[in-house]
Chain A
Amino acid sequence: MSDTSANAVAYVRTETVPASLPPSNAAGPAKWIKENLFAGVGNSILTVLAILAIYLVLSNSMPWILNGIWQAPTLAACREILDGNSGACFAVLSERWHQLLFGFKYPAELYWRPSLAFGLLFVALAPVLFFDLPRKLMIFTGLYPFLAFWLIWGGPIFNPILALVGLIVGYLVFVRLEKSSFALALGGGIVAAVVVWSLSKLIGPDSAILSIGKLDSVQSRDLGGFMLNMMLGVTCVSLSLPLGIALALGRQSSMPLIKYICVIFIEFIRGVPLITLLFVASVMLGYFFPPGSGVDLFIRVVIMITLFSAAYIAEVIRGGLAALPKGQYEAADSLGLDYAQATRLIILPQALKISIPGIVNIAVGLFKDTTLVSVISMFDLVGMIRGPILASTEWNGVYWELFGFAALLFFVVCYGISQYSQWLERRLATDH
């Protein structure tokens, strides 16, 4: 039976057989649908329910949105145009958009100023948010608060410039003294800044210098709408960040007195709702200032919201500090760095990096919480809707269009911030 030896094989295939296509239900969209939508009975039921829910929502809302009326003077006129059909009265938005965005008292001819400040905010934020941009842009970021103050509130340009000069002098003194002692430098810087600021007392009320760069001034109580939310959010987050870092370091401190002051402060603020702190701002905080100083409500609210978010940020940063390996502290000590140097050069850069997602969460939460000021009768976006617009005779009863608009604005901002934070987390990840 030598025929069966390898040499005697009659037929040998010399090329590979092309793989046949998978059965049509195991490839392409059919497979995907089968695996992801109809795998098993329970799964199919879920899919059907989900499709049903989506259909119900869309079939009710789409005609309403697409049928929307954008031009009408009043709700009654809008209903007339709709003639009994389902449809939204977006006319309220085209009619009152300026009130929703700027409040109802901000002078209409000055809208360009907050709008410009809003646009420049992105320029100022860009170098903070994106590290690849040239560092020189940070100079503009430093100037921005003073510029924005001047644009929004108006008045002579002298005040913000004086504040800026005070800060610069303070900073220069700080740099000069920093070599000898951090605490001394900090104290010296503060004293220098205060000295510069108090020089303004020398300038009389009708001095010529006050008429340079004078914009029409706007009172704090005339601010409103989404602009107020943005201002409160941006101001309070940026002010509470340094305060939060200080509180977190204080809470980690080995000095019992400082530690317990920080613990009590943080736990107290975290234990009460923001609304009670806003009540404090509106009815009680005035008592804590010297008689007759009359600090305006906007500043009192900024103080309370800043304290509020500082406590939460402090807890997030404390988490970051606790997550650092002990070796980092010991290594800094063994290099002979003192506390200020070690904290500034070794500890904080790493701890802050770990805390970024948490800090962004707090910032988003805080921005959403700025709507609470409507409870103490400040006319922010929600306050404008509940107050002047829904109470007006023209638009009494327009509910969903307005709240939908407010929800959309907040969603865009908050979702944007959280997407940025996720991008940043990926960017900063140094592990593999």
Chain B
Amino acid sequence: MTIITDPPKGSFRLSMLLNDTRYRSLTLQAIAAILLALIIFYLANNVITNLQRLGLNIDFSFLGAPAGYDINQRLIEYTSQSTNLKAAFVGILNTLLVAGLACLMATIFGVLAGVLRLSNNWLVSKLMSFYVEIFRNIPVLIWILIIYGIMTVVMPAPRAFRGEDAEAAMFLGISAFTNRGVYIPGPEFTRIFGEMGILSAGIGWLAAMIVLIGSFFGARTVTQRATRIQEATGVRPSTLVTNLAIWFLPIIGFFIITGLTFEIPELKGFNFKGGIKIGAPLIAIWFALSIYTGAFIAENVRAGIQAVSKGQTEAAAAMGIRPNRIMSLVVLPQALRVIIPPLISQYLNITKNSSLAILVGYADVTATLGGITLNQTGRAIECIVLLMLFYLIISLTISAVVNVYNNSTKLKER
């Protein structure tokens, strides 16, 4: 039997604010609030006094003024007469471009290295641990500078390609690796989209994307049908040929209809013309981030695969499932649950580390908004606040995605 006693109904004393658990947390929070307000007031007061003393003010109108500088690597139209806002936007797109490319390649490196590190082959697994240790323990900044050095010091200048007995030759006759960047054949649509002017390439690739999405759904239908037949009859019809046809025939047909040709870069004057130029800074930051983060992803992949207990593989083998299907049906789904959250946080790291691009002169958002615009307009506070806001939005979006994923793959415990 429990006896419930009311708390003593004495009169309120001041000491109860600290000694009574009912009020203590309120007191502490009130103190914290006052302290916080004081600190903020102190800092804000300092900022205002300092700005007044220097004759500065907070003003975002510089964003509308002409930027006055050129950007080499850009995805959208931009001239030195465009506004600072547009320069920042070009920078944002460049950041997203290099982050996207690096995420893709880092995943490939990481998965390869992580799986190979678990290989039975002693030499290969040692080689992969060597790769992981070397790249994880040396700052990414040094890797960026080393790869930039390879791109600019080791690669031949465009003029080395000139003449009958040139010192350098184009790779397979279609790509040129020079110290100004890599020139690769640029795809062009000669029919249908060719007449549409400046937008043609964009719309053409959008259409190609739609065709690929169509193939994806087609292939999925075939696979689902195969699964239905397997469940009904126990025999799985072969889907390989059909799926390959569904993936490749439409897109090849699309390219033939639209007349896809590749423009091969040519040496004209002092430089290569035509094709797509991937600048040395982009390559440096892209590869350095990929190889560096790949080493971290390799560790995540290895941990994920090792987290699936051996009994799972053995049980699946005992049921007579073939080794590659054990991997895809039993091990991978369980390993992915462990791998994906740290993988996404590595993607976040890549995005944040892409800000180091400023070091090799790649025009990402840190270099445009936080670098040249800041230095030219002197609007340090505004530029840095906007810059931080951009990265913050990206990070919070990615964390939201991780949370959704974690909730959807949580073990359903009953």
A-B contact pairs, 6 of them (CB 8 A): A271-B392, A273-B353, A275-B366, A279-B380, A287-B46, A407-B142
Instruction: Tell me the bound Cα distance from A287 to B116 in angstroms.
Output: 52
Query: Nearest A residue to B43 by beta-carbon distance?
Result: A288
Q: Which residues on the A side are within 8 Å of B134 (C-beta)?
A: 411
Instruction: Decide if B203 is an interface residue (CB 8 Å cutoff).
Output: no
Instruction: Tell me the bound Cα distance from A288 to B44 in angstroms.
Output: 7
Query: Nearest B residue to A48 by beta-carbon distance?
Result: B123
Q: Which residues on the B side are within 8 Å of A255 (C-beta)?
A: 25, 28-29, 32
Query: Nearest A residue to B53 by beta-carbon distance?
Result: A291
Least CB distance from A382 to B in Å reads 6
Decide: A284 near B366, CB < 8 A? Known: A382-B142, A382-B145, A414-B137: no
Q: Can you list the 5 inter-chain pairs with the closest CB atoms, starting with the nearest?
A: A271-B395, A414-B137, A36-B122, A368-B139, A273-B352
Instruction: Tell me the bound Cα distance from A127 to B122 in angstroms.
Output: 38
Instruction: Tell me the bound Cα distance from A415 to B52 in angstroms.
Output: 49
Instruction: Decide if A299 is an interface residue (CB 8 Å cutoff).
Output: no
Decide: A283 near B380, CB < 8 A? Known: A364-B137, A411-B134: yes
Q: Which residues on the B side are within 8 Å of A35 (C-beta)?
A: 120
Decide: A271 near B149, CB < 8 A? Known: A276-B388, A371-B139, A407-B142: no
Q: Which residues on the A side are within 8 Å of B391 (C-beta)?
A: 271-273, 276
For the side of the interface on A, what is the size category?
35 or more
Interface hub of B374, B388, B394, B399 (most chain A Cβ within 10 A): B388
Instruction: Tell me the bound Cα distance from A375 to B370 in angstroms.
Output: 12
Instruction: Tell me the bound Cα distance from A272 to B153 in angstroms.
Output: 33
Instruction: Tell me the bound Cα distance from A271 to B149 in angstroms.
Output: 30
The answer to whether B141 touches A371, judged by C-beta atoms less than 8 angstroms apart, is: yes
Q: Which residues on the B side are within 8 Å of A369 (C-beta)?
A: 139
Query: Nearest B residue to A274 by beta-carbon distance?
Result: B352
Least CB distance from A407 to B in Å reads 5
Of the listed stretches A21-29, A50-58, A66-74, chain B binds A50-58
Q: Which residues on the B side are within 8 Å of A403 (C-beta)?
A: 142, 145-146, 149
* 104-136 of chain B: CB within 8 A of chain A: 116, 119-124, 127, 133-134, 136
Decide: A275 near B355, CB < 8 A? Known: A258-B29, A368-B140, A374-B141: yes
Decide: A267 near B145, CB < 8 A? Known: A272-B391, A276-B370, A410-B138: no
Identify which of B138, B141, B352 contacts A272 (C-beta below 8 A): B352
Instruction: Tell me the bound Cα distance from A418 to B121 in angstroms.
Output: 25
How many residues of B are counted as interface, with CB atoms below 8 angstroms from the partner's CB atoms? 55
Decide: A268 near B120, CB < 8 A? Known: A261-B36, A414-B137, A414-B138: no
Chain A interface (Cβ < 8 Å from any Cβ of B): 35-37, 39, 43, 46-47, 50-51, 53-54, 181, 254-258, 261, 267-268, 270-276, 279-280, 283-284, 286-291, 364, 368-369, 371-372, 374-375, 382, 386, 397, 399-400, 403, 406-407, 410-411, 414-415, 418
The answer to whether A268 touches B392, judged by C-beta atoms less than 8 angstroms apart, is: yes
Instruction: Tell me the bound Cα distance from A283 to B93 in angstroms.
Output: 25
Instruction: Tell me the bound Cα distance from A342 to B29 in angstroms.
Output: 20
Instruction: Tell me the bound Cα distance from A181 to B15 in angstroms.
Output: 13
Interface hub of B47, B138, B380 (most chain A Cβ within 10 A): B138
The answer to whether A407 touches B396, judged by C-beta atoms less than 8 angstroms apart, is: no
Least CB distance from B144 to A in Å reads 10
Instruction: Tell me the bound Cα distance from A288 to B43 in angstroms.
Output: 5
Q: Which residues on the A side are within 8 Å of B36 (C-beta)?
A: 261
Instruction: Tell me the bound Cα distance from A51 to B123 in angstroms.
Output: 8
The answer to whether B149 touches A400, judged by C-beta atoms less than 8 angstroms apart, is: yes
Interface hub of A271, A274, A382, A400 (most chain B Cβ within 10 A): A271
B16-52 interface code vs A (CB 8 A; 1 in, 0 out): 0010000001001100110010000001001101110
Q: Which residues on the A side are within 8 Å of B49 (C-beta)?
A: 290-291
Identify which of B53, B127, B136, B138 contacts A53 (C-beta below 8 A): B127
Interface hub of B133, B139, B395 (most chain A Cβ within 10 A): B139
The answer to whether B374 touches A275, judged by C-beta atoms less than 8 angstroms apart, is: no
Instruction: Decide if B329 is an interface residue (CB 8 Å cutoff).
Output: no
Q: Which residues on the A side are within 8 Å of B394 (C-beta)?
A: 271
The answer to whether B381 touches A284, judged by C-beta atoms less than 8 angstroms apart, is: yes
The answer to whether B121 touches A47, judged by C-beta atoms less than 8 angstroms apart, is: yes
Query: Nearest A residue to B123 by beta-carbon distance?
Result: A50
The answer to whether A47 touches B380, judged by C-beta atoms less than 8 angstroms apart, is: no
The answer to whether B121 touches A290, judged by C-beta atoms less than 8 angstroms apart, is: no
Q: Which residues on the A side are within 8 Å of B116 (C-beta)?
A: 46
Decide: A275 near B356, CB < 8 A? Known: A287-B381, A399-B153: yes
Least CB distance from A329 to B in Å reads 15
Identify which of A271, A275, A291, A397 contacts B50 (C-beta below 8 A): A291
Least CB distance from B161 to A in Å reads 22
Instruction: Decide if B358 is an interface residue (CB 8 Å cutoff).
Output: yes
Q: Which residues on the B side are within 8 Å of A257 (C-beta)?
A: 29, 32-33
Instruction: Tell me the bound Cα distance from A374 to B18 in angstroms.
Output: 49
B353-370 interface code vs A (CB 8 A; 1 in, 0 out): 101101100000010001
The answer to whether B381 touches A272, judged by C-beta atoms less than 8 angstroms apart, is: no
Q: Which residues on the B side are within 8 Å of A256 (C-beta)?
A: 29
The answer to whether A267 touches B388, judged by C-beta atoms less than 8 angstroms apart, is: no
Least CB distance from A317 to B in Å reads 17
Instruction: Decide if B387 is an interface residue (CB 8 Å cutoff).
Output: yes
Instruction: Decide if B327 is an interface residue (CB 8 Å cutoff).
Output: no
* 323-371 of chain B: CB within 8 A of chain A: 352-353, 355-356, 358-359, 366, 370
Least CB distance from B354 to A in Å reads 8
Identify which of B32, B46, B124, B366 contacts A261 (C-beta below 8 A): B32
Q: Which residues on the A side are within 8 Å of B28 (C-beta)?
A: 255, 258
Q: Which residues on the B side are within 8 Å of A272 (C-beta)?
A: 352, 387-388, 391-392, 395
Instruction: Tell me the bound Cα distance from A330 to B36 in angstroms.
Output: 31
The answer to whether B46 touches A382, judged by C-beta atoms less than 8 angstroms apart, is: no
Query: Nearest A residue to B140 by beta-carbon distance?
Result: A368
Identify which of B121, B136, B384 contacts A37 (C-beta below 8 A): B121
Least CB distance from B91 to A in Å reads 13
Query: Nearest B residue to A290 by beta-carbon distance?
Result: B46
Least CB distance from B371 to A in Å reads 9
